[in-house]
Amino acid sequence: MKSTKLSSQSKQLTRIFVLLAALILWAGNLLAVVPTVDSIKYVESDQANIIVYLSVDVVYTHSDPLPDANWVVYHDGNAYPAVATDNQGGLDPANIVRLKLPDAISFSEAHTGSGITVEFLGGVGLVTNGADDLAAFGPTPAINNLLMKCEIFDPSKFDYSLSLTEVCAPVEIEYTVAYYVKNNYFNSQNYNKYLITIRTFWGDGTSDETYGSEVSPGKFELTFNHLYPADPSVCYWQSYMLPGIGGVGYCSGGGLRKNFTYENHSTDDEGDGVFVFDIDTIRVCLGQDFSEIFTDDTYFNCNPQTEPDFSNDGERYIRFTYPSIRAGVEVTNIYFSHSRLQYIQSLQEHKLQ
């Protein structure tokens, strides 16, 4: 009796093991999902790259630099020539196929007609998960859905030109500036040029800002004008500019914020108002040549003693006229042939050159 019971139990265990094996095989078949297309995108900085995202990990043999006739990419129904399959990158997920166009997708191609579509003609073992192959599919839209954010700007590109109408205050600043949007961002379906702004903060409590100054796809150019006042207490003005995106904010990182300093000296008569020379007494005989160095102690605004970095120390010209019929400040105690001579200083008539 004991032997019979053991034999019966062994048969039951065998049946259970067979059933479990069948269940495992069945579950494995369920898990071996057939590759299908989840999405197709062209969002990388190199707009010649298109990525096909699949439902499962796959392997395929790349053709680059030769074209792969099994893949066709269209713009508005017209096929691109020589589309190649490229290797998956080292940081790529395993569920993608990389396609490479001969040229980058342009702004016009991304935003006109029916856009970019991709077709796969299919074939045994071309794109496979080891059990099943990717089936052929007809023209399917490829999208670029990058969002508008500060990474949209290219910090490696920046144009700037400056002109000053005067050297001394009041000085008018005029400059033209251009910021650039990266190609993959202006190809996005979310791109909106009217949300992009450039703003300058002048440093005197005022600012100027303009939205939508696009002059060509992705290039935003603007000319700013500003008049700084003649303020003898100010030796320089500091301004800065930066781009921004409506609904996102201003973008200053990566060198996008540009800082500028303008020396802005007032005319010489806006110092302390006192014209001062240190004069020595010089005694010479008639017909005797002589020379003398006069020390100018006039205090100009932005004096080097108080403002060493942005000092008002430009070259100046002073004219002495003997005699003169005009009234003016005299250099006293100068006589020649027993006639008193007058000195007219013209410093107050001259601006810093």
Domains of the chain: 37-142 (2.60.40), 150-264 (2.60.40.10), 270-353 (no CATH)
pLDDT tens, residue by residue, 105-144? 999 999 999 899 999 999 999 999 999 999 999 999 999 9
Whether the CB-CB separation of 223 and 178 falls below 8 Å is answered with no
Whether the CB-CB separation of 157 and 180 falls below 8 Å is answered with yes
Closest CA to 109 of 77, 140, 65, 145: 77
Identify the pLDDT of residue 339. 40
User: Which residues does 311 contact at the CB level (< 8 Å), separation at least 6?
Assistant: 235, 302, 303, 304
> Which of the listed ranges 62-66, 164-168, 339-343 does the model predict with the highest average pLDDT?
62-66
pLDDT tens, residue by residue, 193-228? 999 999 999 999 999 999 999 999 999 999 999 988
- Residue 110 has phi, psi (to 5 degrees) of -75, -25
Q: What is the DSSP string of 1-31?
A: -HHHHHHHHHHHHHHHHHHHHHHHHHHHHHH
Whether the CB-CB separation of 69 and 85 falls below 8 Å is answered with no
Q: What is the DSSP string of 298-314?
A: ---TT-TTT-SSS----
Identify the pLDDT of residue 349. 36
Q: What is the pTM of this model?
A: 0.72
Burial class (CB in 10 A: 0-12, 13-18, 19+), 29: exposed
